[in-house]
Amino acid sequence: MEMGCLFVTLAIFSSYYVLFSSPRTESVLHRLLSSSVLTCAQIILTELVLGLVHQLYLFPVIIVNLSISGLVVMMGRRSVRNDGSPFLRKDLLRGMDAVRASLDVPAAVLGSIVLLAYAWVLVASYYLPPRGIDDLAYHLPAVFEYVRSHEIRLLPVTTMQPFAYPENAELLFLWPVLFTHDQRMVDGANVPFVLLSVLTIYALLRRFSLSRKNSVFAALLYALCPVVLMQAGVNYVDIIVSLFLLLSLYFALLYHEHRRPGDLFLAGLTIGLMCGMKYTAPFLALPLQLLILTALPKGKWRHALGYVSVIVLAGGWWYLRNAVMLGEPLYPMHFQSPVPDGLVNARGGSVLQNIGYNLPYWLVRYPLLDSGVGTYDGGFGLVFWGMCFSSWIYATFRSTFTFRRPDIPKLVVLAYLPSGFLLLLAFPPRVVDFNGRLAMFVVAIGLFAFGEVLQRMANELYRAVIKGICIALSLITVSLLFVSVQPGYLFGGAMSDRRHRVEASEFKYLAGSAELHSVLRPAWEALDLLTRDDPAGLNCLVASDPPLYSPSPVYGSRLQNRVLNMSNDGRGPVDAYVCTYLDKDRLEHPAGASGAPTIRDIMAMPDYLAVVQSEHCCLMLRRTIFEQPEKQRVLRAYYRAEWPEAVKAAERLDTKLDANIAIIASGEIGYGVRCIDMEKKRPDRVYVTPDKMMEVIAERENMRQCYTFQRPLSGYRSRKIWQGVYQNKDIEVYLNRRS
Amino acid sequence: MSKGIDRGRIEMLALFIMLIMGTILHGSSVARIYLPAFRYIGALLTGVMR
């Protein structure tokens, strides 16, 4: 199905390429960028419309998109060059000439590093599961829910407020999932947009008459900026938002220069799509209006009206929906009210107060610390702070002091760097360290200034030294992939498992990921193993403390499960509970579930058995499902693979225990005993539960006697019957009898 | 004329020095962030050699 996705995407792209192939269209680059924008627009809008009418099935999506492409091709053929030349061949030759002219040794070396780095990112996306923190909390759950339910609707914001955010970018991530119905490779969905960003930066630089070699060198550096490299492997939307901002700038510049309605339409479309991706996007689109408003012909309201209509059409839906359903178009954002943070003052600070508070810290430390580097949250990198920032200062001063009217477009582009910083400064001080990603486009603007400096540097030696340093710094940046955990990029373990034919769930490899995911991994991994070969899947309910709420892995690697929390009423027969908690001794009410059972209540339910439990998570499975032979086989293999030492200890212990007496276990030995019982076909008698819940379980089951490990059961007469060693620690077994 | 050429050269040299100094200043203050990566690669290479 991956090939199907590629084929349909290519068909859409080709149809627009044909449409733009008239002799009036200026360059191959322009055709590539215009066709890419329209491809994204068509994908987003067709998915949205079909989703809203509950028809988000693969077949209608393919039929509708191919039909539109057919119409576009028919329209395009009318305007195709009438000189009879095969334009595609000509474009190909022109493109190859451009590549040959652009690639000197530094650009070729940098290009090779980009290819290797992104090949690594893609291979990691193949072997590892999705692993961005926001991805698992709200970006991907929305995508998976829309694919599973075949409709696009407002998801329950009582559980997760970001479900109300605009989702144009998520609809781009949804596109491949619709074909594959799988979580594999979803994390690689940002990679094409990074490459398109490189192309856009190249086009922007070329608009200002920079040489091909310098333009391609500067543009490639964008792909090797740390925050871009780290975000390329997750489903954060910042790369796409930055790309569409750069595209808006490109088309606005074209319109400002040539005043062609087509460029105005494309500028409006890119701005509209961008506004439909993130709440900050409308603010980002403000400075470039200077280019558009000054170029709009006086008295021709048709153009202005068309421009605004395209923006509203491409991005307005989400704001309209929120206004109607939630009463606020920007729900849950309150840009006008103070942001509580406890640092500016007790009630929080206004945007201006935040800027005032952040500015001194920013000026003194931010350029030196580059906070967030090595994570998907930030890090503009060595090349940006070392080369681009100083280049921007130089380019801005030079353009300001030698100002002429034709320099306005260049100054508007350069103004996006302080605008980006202003955006970061406006956030509450507590998050200022971590949100560089929100203004990722400043790197592109810095590279724009750097390209200009390279162009000015007439001395070949200076230029060679600077480019050499940039290559070395980029190599250092790529080395971050070895140690990053947000996201992790090491896939050796997964590859080795595959080679040795170990049947593992992809979620197993979250063990080396961000702590939030590694501690919740056991429940997600066990659930996926139990359901991945069962197309019917299970009805799952996530009972979670709000900070840990991450429904995406619960869908399973093949999207086989249903997550009841994502339905409008959150009700239905529950096959499995996925409980995630910050403190296993405080099992309170889960996120968004007032009146619903607490996590403690769920863990005490008699119809459900804990399959796995740890410090921060527990998977409870309905007893009748647990007893199915296929599930027993999977669990047996899982326990043996995951806790081999516990199984060995249980084998030693087996002769000491009466097979008719129940066991309440809070530790790993419980899995071992359960595994041995399964192998000997005994009825299940092991209750896996957190330490503090042992008495609750004993009372619920009205046990007259039971075994416990580590500590005796309070309220019972207990006798130590065995002592041994497990993982270098003493372990004691108690027989508890009701007194 | 020669004065103009000199000014251009000086500007270029100043620009070059600014870029190098900017890189050294920033690089030295964030070096510790990149060190674990070098250690990892070092360990990896040592492992491979063995």
Residue B22: list chain A partners with CB under 8 A. 385-387, 389-390
Q: Does B20 touch chain A (CB under 8 A)?
A: yes
Q: What pLDDT is stored for residue A123 in this prediction?
A: 97
A256 contact partners, CB below 8 Å, separation of at least 6: A291, A292, A294, A295, A409
Q: What pLDDT is stored for residue A25 in this prediction?
A: 60
> Residue A85 above 80 pLDDT?
no
Beta-carbon separation of B26 and A382 below 8 A? yes
Beta-carbon separation of B40 and A482 below 8 A? yes
Q: What pLDDT is stored for residue B1 in this prediction?
A: 46
In whole angstroms, give the CA distance from residue A677 to residue A636. Answer: 10
Beta-carbon separation of B23 and A386 below 8 A? yes
In whole angstroms, give the CA distance from residue A88 to residue A82. Answer: 13
**Burial tier of A153 (Cβ tally within 10 Å: 0-12, 13-18, 19+):** middle
Residue A586's pLDDT band (cuts 50, 70, 90): confident
Beta-carbon separation of B25 and A457 below 8 A? no
**pLDDT tens, residue by residue, A266-320:** 999 999 999 999 999 999 999 999 999 999 988 778 899 999 999 999 999 999 9
Q: Across all residues in chain B, what is the average pLDDT?
A: 83
Place of tokens 């968004």: A592
Percent of chain A clearing pLDDT 70 (strictly above): 95
Q: What pLDDT is stored for residue A569 in this prediction?
A: 76
Residue A467's pLDDT band (cuts 50, 70, 90): very high
Tell me the ipTM for this assembly: 0.90
Integer angstrom CA distances of residue A180 from A289, A397, A424, A443, A559:
40, 51, 37, 34, 10
Beta-carbon separation of A386 and B34 below 8 A? no
Beta-carbon separation of A368 and B12 below 8 A? no
Residue A597's pLDDT band (cuts 50, 70, 90): confident
Q: What pLDDT is stored for residue A728 in this prediction?
A: 84
Nearest to A11, CA basis, from A70, A55, A59, A82: A70
Q: What pLDDT is stored for residue A42 in this prediction?
A: 98
Query: Nearest CA of chain B to the CA of A218: how many Å?
Result: 15
**pLDDT tens, residue by residue, A350-395:** 778 778 888 888 887 788 888 889 899 889 999 999 999 999 999 9
Q: What pLDDT is stored for residue B2 in this prediction?
A: 53
Q: What pLDDT is stored for residue A428 in this prediction?
A: 74
Residue B5's pLDDT band (cuts 50, 70, 90): low
- Do A251 and A257 meet the contact criterion of CB atoms below 8 Å apart? no
The torsion region of residue A488 among left (phi > 0), alpha (psi -120 to 50) and beta comes to beta
- Do A374 and B33 meet the contact criterion of CB atoms below 8 Å apart? yes
Query: Nearest CA of chain B to the CA of A368: how many Å?
Result: 5
Q: What's the helix, strand, coil split of chain B in %, to 5?
A: 95, 0, 5
A112-127 burial string, b = 16+ CB within 10 Å, else e? ebbeebbebbeebbeb
In whole angstroms, give the CA distance from residue A218 to residue A205. Answer: 9
Across the range A603-626, mean pLDDT stands at 94
Q: Does B26 touch chain A (CB under 8 A)?
A: yes
- Do A494 and A522 meet the contact criterion of CB atoms below 8 Å apart? no
Residue A469: list chain B partners with CB under 8 A. 19-20, 23
Q: What pLDDT is stored for residue A738 in this prediction?
A: 87
Query: Nearest CA of chain A to the CA of B21: how many Å?
Result: 8
- Cβ-based contacts under 8 A for chains A and B: 75
> Residue A710 above 60 pLDDT?
yes
Percent of chain A clearing pLDDT 90 (strictly above): 73
In whole angstroms, give the CA distance from residue B15 to residue A481. Answer: 32
**pLDDT tens, residue by residue, A479-534:** 999 999 989 999 999 999 999 998 899 999 998 888 999 999 999 999 999 999 99
Residue A476: list chain B partners with CB under 8 A. 34, 37
> Residue A669 above 70 pLDDT?
yes
> Residue A257 above 50 pLDDT?
yes
Identity of the amino acid at A432 = V
Query: Nearest CA of chain A to the CA of B37: how many Å?
Result: 6
Q: Does B43 touch chain A (CB under 8 A)?
A: no
Across the range A727-737, mean pLDDT stands at 89
> Residue A258 above 70 pLDDT?
yes
> Residue A349 above 70 pLDDT?
no
Query: Nearest CA of chain B to the CA of A493: how many Å?
Result: 15
Beta-carbon separation of B22 and A482 below 8 A? no
**A166-175, A412-421, A454-463: range with lowest mean pLDDT:** A454-463
Q: Across all residues in chain A, what is the average pLDDT?
A: 91
In whole angstroms, give the CA distance from residue A188 to residue A233. Answer: 6
**What is the Cα gyration radius of chain B?**
20
Residue A80's pLDDT band (cuts 50, 70, 90): low
Nearest to A12, CA basis, from A62, A58, A55: A62
Q: What pLDDT is stored for residue A171 in this prediction?
A: 98
Q: What pLDDT is stored for residue B37 in this prediction?
A: 87
Closest-CA residue of A relative to B23 is: A386
A415 contact partners, CB below 8 Å, separation of at least 6: A287
Nearest to A566, CA basis, from A151, A202, A176, A188: A151
